[in-house]
Structure 1
């Protein structure tokens, strides 16, 4: 589906996502018109989903990150749907993942400090529906944070 030119475009986009199209075309050794056509084709195919701002939340005063691994009460028929809908409403939940196995859901939660996290945990997270078990893991360090693909 992708040829070498498409892969070159994707590598350049990953290396410098803020480049203007004219600079990206130059780095990919294409004309701006050709680059635009290829990008549009990759967007239509769902390969390129868009650009997004990556915000460094510690710079905004969020110093704590906690990963919660939750097991839901699966005897309730709408356990997943109800839980996920409610979890999406908690602003401090920055990521939600679902799994097959003993752990059903993982939430990444940010807070300004430990007292703020405790407040979020008690008032917002423990009140989420259908929780059977919770394990909290305090984030210490991010060793690798790279979404670039080897294209």
Structure 2
């Protein structure tokens, strides 16, 4: 069955840190395989961008990103819709591979912590808020696939896998 590998990098927020020359060369050599990054960006923190958790709690003591979203940024519904659109795109790639023998078996996403946790939750058709229960460590790898040889049974096959 096709697999989706999700790698959580260690950058927080939406800061746009440029690639190193080695990173540019690596991406350029794989450009025909890279889909793009716009939809897998981190949750838009809006008014809270750049603030540490304790600073946000000083402004809004009851704030919870999983239920409240971010003022001036993305709501839970907007984040869900964005993640769901990524999942739909991946599932179409997987469907074509399984049903038509087209394309490649596996897909790979590099993403941020909150995006990744929402992706895992939505992949398994859970609410986004369940993402808070997935401790997806920086540099960790998640493996998502399907049970019983069925594209209708999405599964989490591994979390915080590492290549040593």
TM-score, normalised by the number of residues in structure 1: 0.22
The structure showing larger relative contact order (alpha-carbon pairs under 8 Å, at least 6 residues apart) is 2
> What TM-score do you get using the length of structure 2 for normalisation?
0.21
**Larger gyration radius, structure 1 or structure 2:** 1
